[in-house]
Amino acid sequence: MNDKCSAGTGRFLEVMARTLGVPIEEMAKVHKEVKENITITSMCTVFAESEVISLIAQNKDQRDIIHPLNKDVASKAVSLIDRIGRKGKYMMTGGVAKNQGVVYAIESRLGEKLIIPFEPQIIGALGAALISLEG
């Protein structure tokens, strides 16, 4: 998560998938080779959605739009890591960890593989359950 809004979160990707008219699973594909290197200038969900609508109107390839969205989410995650300092060995949890496009982009920026649990979206709930057993 982050410290301001839904920018850079799974909710951001859900809104973009809806705007593009694609299943969220399509957002999760790794698009290493794109035809056009598009930049989404805003991480604000509302403004980014407007940019995506404009790109759709320009008949841009969906993969060329999805690629920078995944990279932007990865960029936000890495900037938060950098805020606390890189210490090596990283684990990613939450539903976005199932998005291979974001995972690939984070790994590329960090220069190392992420550890992804089998069902990453339930790890927070599992941790909360374990803590409740202690108390």
Per-residue pLDDT at 45: 86
pLDDT digits (tens, 9 = 90+) for 80-115: 999 999 988 999 999 999 999 999 999 999 999 999
In sequence order, what are the beta bridge partners of 100? none
Residues 17-43, mean pLDDT to the nearest whole number: 88
Distance, CA of 126 to CA of 64 (rounded, Å) = 36
User: Packing angle between helix 10-20 and helix 62-84, nearest 10 degrees?
Assistant: 170
Q: In this model, does residue 4 exceed pLDDT 60?
A: no
Count of residues for the chain? 135
Residues 45-71, mean pLDDT to the nearest whole number: 93
Residue pair 60/40 in contact (Cβ under 8 Å)? The answer is: no
* Average confidence score pLDDT of the chain: 89
The fold of the 10-134 domain, in CATH, is Nucleotidyltransferase; domain 5 (3.30.420)
Both tokens of 12, joined, read 């951001």
What 3-state DSSP class applies to 59? coil
Q: What percent of the chain has pLDDT over 70?
A: 94
DSSP 105: H
* Domain regions of the chain by residue span: 10-134
Residues 30-35, mean pLDDT to the nearest whole number: 79
